[in-house]
Amino acid sequence: MKILVTGAAGFIGANHVYYVLGKHKDDEIVGLDSLTYAGNLETLDAALKDPRFRFVKGDITDRAEVEALFEQEKFDIVINFAAESHVDRSIEDPGVFLRTNILGTQVLMDASRKFGVPRYHQVSTDEVYGDLPLDKPDLLFTEQTPIHTSSPYSASKAAADLLVQAYIRTFKLPATISRCSNNYGPYQFPEKLIPLMIANSLADKPLPVYGEGINVRDWLYVDDHCKAVDIISRSDKVGEVYNIGGHNEMRNIDIVKLILGYLGKPESLITYVTDRKGHDMRYAIDPAKITADLGWAPETMFADGIKLTIDWYLENKSWWERIVSGEYQEYYEEMYGDRLK
């Protein structure tokens, strides 16, 4: 198989590259990423040493560039991880989210149609469903839950999902969609909750927690997500939407306290800040459909995954310290220059 992974220098995209390289020894991967602020080529250092992997710096909204790549490579599978994904940033500047998350999806699907790609897979989010009440713990998102977005980010992802479904029906595009709960694990950009709390704890800096920290998220270890996407994208289940959940619901404040306890830091570092506009209260996914159809189920319990994650950040301080300092943005030119263009 030859696979295109967009957003390959991002958190989940990079983990997927490593998952596929480890799982499928005969596969080749092309990683496409525009290396915006959250794309870090250092994350792909090990992959770049593998002859089965090639990196291309490019923007999924650039139609000419994308079509040239599709014509050259003849992909068997296209997996679109590329997205602007930080809710706070979407509130500050919605436009870039609409451009990348909607128009970029259109460009990739048009290229897939034009060059006859056998499978296109869209990586979405559980945030398209809005939120659930805290006082109804048995209520879960299913694939039939109505779309009810809360932020420009989730609205842009929902719009992309609807566009994919339109292409499936109108153009018979062989596509699938997955909607996943919150991921955590190695290589996550330090603006996200778990890596931010780890980095700030280690530096004895304040840990900013929105509101009272009672917002609940369903957490999924990133390798479990990658396994699910890999199974879906190779299956014969065209046109389906699959929810991917971890069965690991946690309040934000409990995660913060767990990290502090593991690192031996005082809870006095917690600083409560004004809540985010339109902040969703609870996400919880029912993954029964993907389990029944494809046999996937989450394997990593949160208690185990969070220890693996904290230990990874402890062992890879240089990776996230370069991000915090901003030095990582110089890495592409310093280390690779024209070699990857």
* Residues identified as active-site: 126-127, 153
Counted residue by residue, the chain has a size of 341
Give all strands (DSSP E) within 34-118, no chain letters: 53-57, 77-80
Environment class of 74 (CB within 10 Å of its CB; exposed 0-12, middle 13-18, buried 19+): exposed
Region of residue 29 (left: phi > 0; alpha: psi -120 to 50; beta: else): beta
Which residue is associated with the tokens 């995660």?
255
Among 256, 288, 286, which residue's Cα sits nearest to residue 271?
256
Distance CA 76, CA 261 (A): 46
Helix, coil or strand: residue 253: helix
Distance CA 101, CA 25 (A): 31
